[in-house]
Structure 1
Amino acid sequence: MILAGVALVALLAWTALYTVPSDSVAVVQRFGRYLKDVPSGLHLKLPMGIDAATIVPVKRQLKQEFGFTTPGAADPYQSPQLQEATRETQMVTGDLNAALVEWVVQYRISDPVKFLFEVREPSGTLRSVSESVMREVVGDRTVDEVITIGRQEIESEALTKMQALSTKYAMGISIDQVQLKNINPPEPVQESFNEVNQAQQEKEKLINEARRDYNRVIPLAEGEKDQRIREADGYRLKRVNEAEGDAARFSALLAEYSNAPEVTRRRIYIETLQKIMPGLRSKIIVDEQTRSILPLLNLDSQMEKKP
């Protein structure tokens, strides 16, 4: 009897005590009916199956993968089934081209009560919602946008639409991020697509090189042009100022000449001689009153010519 009592007490304690991890809450049900949410820590409940506590990781970021599988995943809805991995990535773009799209959805459980009771298999429903939305978003774009320039826009639009459907279906899920992974054309045309992609990259490379040369040559030519213009403006101002100075000097000289013509004429004559005379090697000064000039025989020059 004592052993039976001890066993009964141990069974009651085992079924009455439970621990909630720090990143989770426990949803307590009494005879299957929702009772309350319990935060993390050690708690008691009615034993023997009267109360049932379901642990829900509300603070943990969960994810679902489409088109590939991460080894060791504990969540059965995280990775696709083996026969579904290829099918769910096959999509048709808006320009009727085929593409293989792989993506990841990261989400959290925002409302554990709705997550447990409002929708049957909410994780499986989220996979269906994600695939439906991704096919819709990819189907509205060309294959070039899907593979190259439109990835960020696709991720943003898919996130918005997935969250809207999750709220509409009361799934109790908050989607944090939608991230595109590998996007490739189907295998039969992958080699041709790679050639086209390489040609596109070569085109972009040549365009960038041409822009680089343009940015190097044009500013240099613009600088030389501006320098030539400034030099021309400087020369123009110099010539104008010199001409204005010469005109002002001539006007001043004319005014002085008008006041004393003989003095001014003589001063101009003397100044001119001062400029000319230093450059002359031989100078002959003749008196204006002399009637005739005696011929000069340069004996020194004649002696130098003799052998």
Structure 2
Amino acid sequence: MANKNYEVNLNPDWIKKYIKKILLGLIIVIAAFTSTFTVGPEEEGVVVQLGKYNRTVPPGLNFILPFGIEKMHKIPVQRQLKQEFGFRTTKAGQRSSYTKEGYRDESMMLTGDLNLTDVEWVVQYRIDDSYKYLFKVRNADKTLRDMSEAAMRKIVGDRTVNEVLTVGRQEIATSVKQLLQELCDEYENGIRIDQVVLQDVNPPDPVKPSFNAVNEAQQERETLINQAEADYNRIIPRAKGEAQETIELAEAFALNRVNRAKGEANRFHAVFKSYIKAPEVTKQRIYLETMEKVLPKLGNKVIVGEQGNNVLPLLNLDKKGGQK
């Protein structure tokens, strides 16, 4: 009986039926896994059917045709991405660590005055159009890296080493961002440049001491210039003020003398007119007025006669009104 049951279990028809069920189950499972995808909140899904663009799906649970008929590419359109040049971040966090080993060729550049400089920078960007990002340019990230390096070398090559190391850093970053965005629009790679940041700009290690000496000399020169300008701003306005004060005093003195001269001239004309009308009376009045001014200034006075023997000691002309 047992042998009979064993023979029944090994029936070829039953085995084929069992294998078909297993294969059907596997097909269902594979179809479920290959047709269901979840798109993240910062992403959008680009569906390709048999190698050709078909549609773009929003975040959430999405379904596509299974067994490779359709494929989905998840593109992080809401996330800010970045590319580093001249260095790489080895550990991100509160205390990030970086390395330059193997990346010095990216950052070593020739300036417009034929000096070498080591420029490290970061390009921050977003994927603005997922269709263009996938289909307009082959390997858009690598293309963006090549364009970024070319744009930075062009902008740095148009400036002197002093501009690159000091005052021109912000202008360089702005110019590179503008040029890089123009290249992205021209290539239609679907990328929008958010920011270009110059992380660090240094002269090459062998010439760093010389550059530091030059920078110190320039800083000392700027200090002396600022001190000279401060002295100029302190002394020159004061000198101008004193000069203006002297001019105003001279003008006031001249105006006073002129007015006095005009007044005396008018007084002389008035006296002359009176003299013409009454010569004797005018002469007498002038004489008396003159004596009134002169006698008080003479001090002690002694009046004698013509022979010098008639002294009048009692006449005291120092006291106004005389003695009674």
Contact 2:38-2:61 at 8 Å conserved across structures:
yes
Counterpart in the other structure of 2:253: 235
CA distance in 2, matches of 1:100, 1:175: 23
How many angstroms does 1:235 deviate by? 0.9
CA distance in 2, matches of 1:157, 1:293: 112
Contact 1:45-1:51 at 8 Å conserved across structures:
no
Deviation track 1:207-260 (CA, whole Å, cap 9, x = no partner) reads 111111111111111111111111111111111111111111111111111111
Give the alignment of 1:189-208 within 5 angstroms.
189-208=207-226
Contact 2:46-2:72 at 8 Å conserved across structures:
yes
Counterpart in the other structure of 1:278: 296
How many angstroms does 1:9 deviate by? 8.3
Counterpart in the other structure of 1:186: 204
One-letter amino acid of the structure 1 residue matched with residue 208 of structure 2: Q
Counterpart in the other structure of 1:303: none
How many angstroms does 1:21 deviate by? 3.8
Matched, 1:113 2:95: no
How many angstroms does 1:185 deviate by? 1.1
CA distance in 1, matches of 2:252, 2:311: 56
CA distance in 2, matches of 1:84, 1:167: 31
Contact 1:138-1:146 at 8 Å conserved across structures:
yes
CA distance in 2, matches of 1:13, 1:242: 118
Structural RMSD (CA): 3.3
Matched, 1:60 2:60: no
One-letter amino acid of the structure 2 residue matched with residue 159 of structure 1: K
Give the alignment of 1:118-137 within 5 angstroms.
118-137=136-155
Deviates most, 5-14 or 164-173: 5-14
Counterpart in the other structure of 1:38: 57
How many angstroms does 1:126 deviate by? 0.9
CA distance in 2, matches of 1:213, 1:45: 78
How many angstroms does 1:278 deviate by? 3.4
RCO comparison, higher one (Cα < 8 Å, 6+): 1
One-letter amino acid of the structure 2 residue matched with residue 144 of structure 1: N
Matched, 1:248 2:290: no
Give the alignment of 1:143-154 within 5 angstroms.
143-154=161-172
CA distance in 2, matches of 1:228, 1:59: 73
Percent identity, aligned pairs only, is 47
Counterpart in the other structure of 2:9: none
Match for residue 214 of structure 1 among 190, 208, 232 = 232
Gaps of 5+ in 2: 1-17, 314-324
Deviation track 1:16-65 (CA, whole Å, cap 9, x = no partner) reads 5544444332223334432222334x343136455443332223222211
Deviation track 1:247-295 (CA, whole Å, cap 9, x = no partner) reads 1111111111111111112222222232233345444557xxx775644
SS at match of 2:46: strand
Matched, 1:29 2:48: yes
- CA shift in 2, pair 1:276/1:297, >3 Å: closer
Match for residue 116 of structure 2 among 85, 95, 98 = 98
User: Please, what TM-score do these two structures have when normalized by structure 1?
Assistant: 0.81
Contact 1:102-1:183 at 8 Å conserved across structures:
yes
One-letter amino acid of the structure 1 residue matched with residue 228 of structure 2: A
Contact 1:13-1:47 at 8 Å conserved across structures:
no
Counterpart in the other structure of 1:223: 241
CA distance in 2, matches of 1:80, 1:293: 123
Match for residue 277 of structure 2 among 259, 277, 293 = 259
One-letter amino acid of the structure 2 residue matched with residue 64 of structure 1: Q
Deviates most, 31-40 or 260-269: 31-40
One-letter amino acid of the structure 2 residue matched with residue 214 of structure 1: Y
One-letter amino acid of the structure 1 residue matched with residue 167 of structure 2: I
One-letter amino acid of the structure 1 residue matched with residue 185 of structure 2: T
How many angstroms does 1:155 deviate by? 2.1
CA distance in 2, matches of 1:212, 1:89: 41
Off by >6 Å, runs of 4+ in structure 1: 4-14, 79-82
CA distance in 2, matches of 1:267, 1:10: 143
Gaps of 5+ in 1: 74-78, 299-307
Counterpart in the other structure of 2:4: none
SS at match of 2:290: helix
User: Please, what TM-score do these two structures have when normalized by structure 2?
Assistant: 0.77
Contact 2:86-2:120 at 8 Å conserved across structures:
yes
Aligned residues: 289
Contact 1:99-1:183 at 8 Å conserved across structures:
yes
